[in-house]
Amino acid sequence: MDELEFLKQDWKRQEADLPVVSTDSIYEMTHKRSSSLMKWLLYVSIFEFVFWTFLNVLGINAEQIDKFKELHLLEFDIVLTIIQYAVLGFFIYCFYKTYKEVETTSSTRKLMKNILRVRKIVNAYVIYNLAMVILVSIVVFVASAAYDPKFDSLYVIDPDGSKHLPLSIIATFTGFILIFTLVIWLFYKLLYGILLKRLKDNYKKLSKLEMEE
């Protein structure tokens, strides 16, 4: 006799023995995507960490260090790098913690709370980075203006012998910072924006579910 025919009989009988998943559990599963989105946020932040480390390592050479010394920025650069890594490490830790929580939670409300938290973390991180870009640009500009010999030719000598930078130079510099900040902002918008938008959509669906209940 056909073995499979024989098995077919048992196959039908085993249906009574199958596990049953409740409606609530199915709902939860459909929203588990939040956890995979958060995993991606974690990956992106780690990627960023590696990327900046790579750039930093590439940028370290004797010439660069001399340049920093000349501009009196070496200490500033060292402190800044330490702060930058500490902050990045802290954000990675936050992403990891939320991701782990989301992965193990079965409560919709908790999931929603965590989605909001992740959005806050990302926003804080982006704002921190933009603020740093502006701060560093200003510090580098001021230091260059004070110590870089190339800047000497740009100064205007006043009749009383004192010197100052013309307004046009300062305006160009301000414009440059704004454009640079905008580029960095767009970069983050692209890097984290897509994931955040999906999380937001998921959040909306979850809140509708909560209201229906």
Partner 1 sequence: MDPQLEKQFVTQLEANQNIVHKICRLYTHDRESHNDLFQEITIQLFKAYPKFRGDAKFSTWMYRVALNTAITLYRKKKRSIPTTDYDNVMFKIASTEYDNTVEEQLKLMYAAIRQLNDIDKALVFLYLEDKPYSEISETLGISEVNARVKMNRVKSKLKDLLNV
Q: Which residues bind partner 1 (CB under 8 A)?
A: 2-4, 6-8, 10-11, 13-23, 26-27, 29-30, 32-33, 205, 208-209, 212
Between 10 and 160, CB nearer to partner 1: 10
Q: Whole-number minimum distance, CB 210 to partner 1, in Å?
A: 11
CA 124 to chain centre: 9
- Per the CB < 8 A criterion, the answer to whether 108 and 206 are in contact is yes
- Which residues share a beta bridge with 80? none
Between 22 and 153, CB nearer to partner 1: 22
Q: Whole-number minimum distance, CB 116 to partner 1, in Å?
A: 20
Q: Whole-number minimum distance, CB 99 to partner 1, in Å?
A: 17
Between 109 and 208, CB nearer to partner 1: 208
Q: Whole-number minimum distance, CB 205 to partner 1, in Å?
A: 7
| CB-based contacts of 44, cutoff 8 Å, min separation 6 | 191, 192, 195
Task: Pull the structure tokens for residue 109.
Answer: 């409300």
- Which residues share a beta bridge with 156? 164
Q: Whole-number minimum distance, CB 20 to partner 1, in Å?
A: 7
Between 7 and 131, CB nearer to partner 1: 7
- Other C-beta atoms closer than 10 Å to the C-beta of 77 total 19
Between 35 and 45, CB nearer to partner 1: 35
CA distance 172 to 138: 13
Q: Whole-number minimum distance, CB 45 to partner 1, in Å?
A: 24
Between 14 and 153, CB nearer to partner 1: 14
What φ, ψ does residue 157 adopt, rounded to 5°? Answer: -90, 125
Task: Pull the structure tokens for residue 107.
Answer: 């409560």
CA distance 208 to 191: 28
Q: Which of 72, 177, 71 is nearest to 130 (CA)?
A: 177
